[in-house]
C-alpha cells in the first residue's frame, strides 16, 4: 500500500498558555487521528528551517528578532503568541515542515504538512498567529532551485491570505488566489492576484459553486505547482469564521481542489490553515479532511 507523505513534528506544539484562544493542542491530536485512521503509517520529520531559506521571504532583522526573542511588544502583540522558546522552535520547525512537504509533493504528486498556512506573516513582520509565512518560504525555496516555474497559492482559509499577496505582489512566478470572508480579519485587505470576497453566512451550495467557477478559470493558466491552504474556519461552528459551511461542504471542497490538480499531474502541497471550532474533536476531524482527500488519490 502506498501512503500519502505527511510531515509532522512533536514541536508543532508550543507553550502558549492553557487559556489561549489558539487551539495549539490540535497538532498533536491531528497526528494521533491520522495514525488511528491509518491515513499515515510513519510521518516525515522536518528540520527547523534555516536562516538562508527563511530570508527569501522575511527580512534578516525580523528573523533575528524572533530567534533572539528581541521583537518589540507591539510586534509580539500583532502575532498574538508569547515569544518564548517553544514558540520560536515551533515556528522554525513548522516552516521547515512545509518546505519538506513541498519537496515530497514533487516526487509523489501530493504531500501534506500537519501544520502550516501561516498566511498573515509578511516580509517585515508576523501577525494573526503567524510568525513565519511557511508557504511563501517554501515557494521561494522551490523557485530558487528551479524545481518549479509557476506556482499557484490557493488559499481557502476564512481569512484573506494577505501575507502571501504582499510578499508576492511583484512576483510573476507566483499567483495568489484567496477566497475569504469579506468582513473578517484582516480589516485592511491586501490585493491578491485574485480575491473572492464572501458575504457572511454563505452556505455549502453557493460556496462550492463559486469555488468550481474560479477553479475553471485557474485551470486555463500554466501552473506547474500548487500550495493549498485548507483552513477549516469556514465551518458554521467556528469561533472566528463568519460562514455557514458544513462538515460535508469542507470534505467536498478538499476533494474538488485535490482531484482537480492531481488529475492534471500538477504537484500539490497541502497545509493546514486556520481552525477554531467550538468543538475541539470536530476541529481535529475537519483538519484531517485535507489529508483524507489527498490519501484517497495516492494508490
> Is the model's pLDDT at 89 over the cut of 90?
yes
Tell which residue, 132, 38, 135, has the closest CA to residue 88: 132
Phi and psi at 185, nearest 5°, equal: -60, 145
- Structure confidence by residue, pLDDT tens digits, 179-236: 999 988 777 888 899 999 999 999 999 999 999 999 999 999 999 999 999 999 999 9
Query: In what order do the strands lie in the sheet containing 268-271?
Result: 6-7, 110-113, 268-271, 225-229, 151-155, 174-181, 194-198
Contact 109, 103 (CB under 8 A): no
Contact 82, 76 (CB under 8 A): yes
| Band of pLDDT at residue 155, cut at 50, 70 and 90 | very high
User: In the numeric block, which cell numbers belong to residue 265?
Assistant: 499531474
| Alpha-carbon gap, residue 233 to 252, rounded angstroms | 15
| Alpha-carbon gap, residue 61 to 56, rounded angstroms | 13
Q: Is 32 left (phi over 0), alpha (psi -120 to 50) or beta?
A: alpha
Q: Are strands 174-181 and 194-198 parallel, antiparallel or unpaired?
A: parallel
> Is the model's pLDDT at 114 over the cut of 80?
yes
**Dihedral (CA of 198, 203, 206, 212) sign:** positive
Contact 208, 244 (CB under 8 A): no
| Band of pLDDT at residue 241, cut at 50, 70 and 90 | confident
Instruction: Kindly list the structural domains of the chain, giving each domain's residue range(s) and its CATH number in brackets, ordered by start.
Output: 6-297 (3.40.800.20)
Tell which residue, 152, 27, 31, 45, has the closest CA to residue 96: 45
User: In the numeric block, which cell numbers belong to residue 15?
Assistant: 507553550
For position 1, what pLDDT does the model report?
66
Q: List, in sequence order, every beta strand (DSSP E) within the chain.
A: 6-7, 110-113, 151-155, 174-181, 194-198, 225-229, 268-271
Q: Is the peptide bond before 186 cis (omega within 30 degrees of 0)?
A: yes
User: In the numeric block, which cell numbers belong to residue 294?
Assistant: 489527498
- Structure confidence by residue, pLDDT tens digits, 33-76: 999 999 999 999 999 999 999 999 999 999 999 999 999 999 99
Tell which residue, 228, 232, 231, has the closest CA to residue 279: 232
For position 19, what pLDDT does the model report?
86
Q: Output the average pLDDT for the chain.
A: 96
Tell which residue, 228, 219, 218, has the closest CA to residue 253: 228
CA dist list (Å): 270 to 153, 185, 243, 251: 10, 22, 22, 14
Residues 6 or more apart whose Cβ sits within 8 Å of residue 188? none
Amino acid at each position: 500500500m502506498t501512503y500519502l507523505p505527511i510531515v509532522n513534528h512533536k514541536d508543532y506544539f508550543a507553550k502558549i498558555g492553557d487559556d489561549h484562544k489558539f487551539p495549539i493542542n490540535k497538532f498533536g491530536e491531528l497526528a494521533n487521528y491520522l495514525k488511528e485512521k491509518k491515513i499515515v503509517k510513519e510521518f516525515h520529520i522536518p528540520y527547523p528551517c534555516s536562516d538562508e531559506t527563511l530570508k527569501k521571504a522575511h527580512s534578516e532583522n525580523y528573523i533575528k528578532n524572533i530567534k533572539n526573542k528581541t521583537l518589540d511588544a507591539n510586534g509580539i502583540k500583532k502575532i498574538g503568541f508569547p515569544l518564548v522558546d517553544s514558540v520560536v522552535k515551533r515556528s522554525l520547525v513548522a516552516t521547515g515542515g512545509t518546505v519538506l512537504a513541498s519537496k515530497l509533493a514533487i516526487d509523489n504528486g501530493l504531500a501534506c504538512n500537519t501544520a502550516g498556512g501561516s498566511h498573515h506573516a509578511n516580509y517585515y513582520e508576523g501577525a494573526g498567529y503567524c510568525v513565519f509565512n511557511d508557504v511563501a518560504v517554501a515557494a521561494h525555496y522551490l523557485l530558487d532551485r528551479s524545481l518549479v516555474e509557476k506556482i499557484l497559492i490557493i488559499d481557502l482559509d476564512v481569512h484573506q491570505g494577505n501575507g502571501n499577496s504582499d510578499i508576492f505582489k511583484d512576483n510573476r512566478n507566483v499567483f495568489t488566489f484567496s477566497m475569504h470572508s469579506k468582513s473578517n480579519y484582516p480589516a485592511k485587505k491586501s490585493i491578491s492576484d485574485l480575491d473572492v470576497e464572501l458575504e457572511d453566512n454563505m452556505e455549502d451550495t453557493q460556496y462550492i459553486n463559486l469555488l468550481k467557477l474560479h477553479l475553471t478559470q485557474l485551470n486555463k493558466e500554466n501552473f506547474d505547482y500548487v500550495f493549498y491552504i485548507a483552513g477549516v474556519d469556514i465551518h458554521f461552528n467556528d469561533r472566528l469564521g463568519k460562514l455557514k459551511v458544513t462538515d460535508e461542504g469542507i470534505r467536498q471542497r478538499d476533494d474538488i481542489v485535490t482531484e482537480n490538480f492531481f488529475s492534471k499531474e500538477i504537484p500539490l502541497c497541502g497545509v493546514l490553515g486556520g481552525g477554531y471550532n467550538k468543538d475541539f474533536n470536530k476541529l481535529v476531524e475537519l483538519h484531517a479532511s485535507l489529508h483524507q482527500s489527498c490519501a484517497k488519490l495516492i494508490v
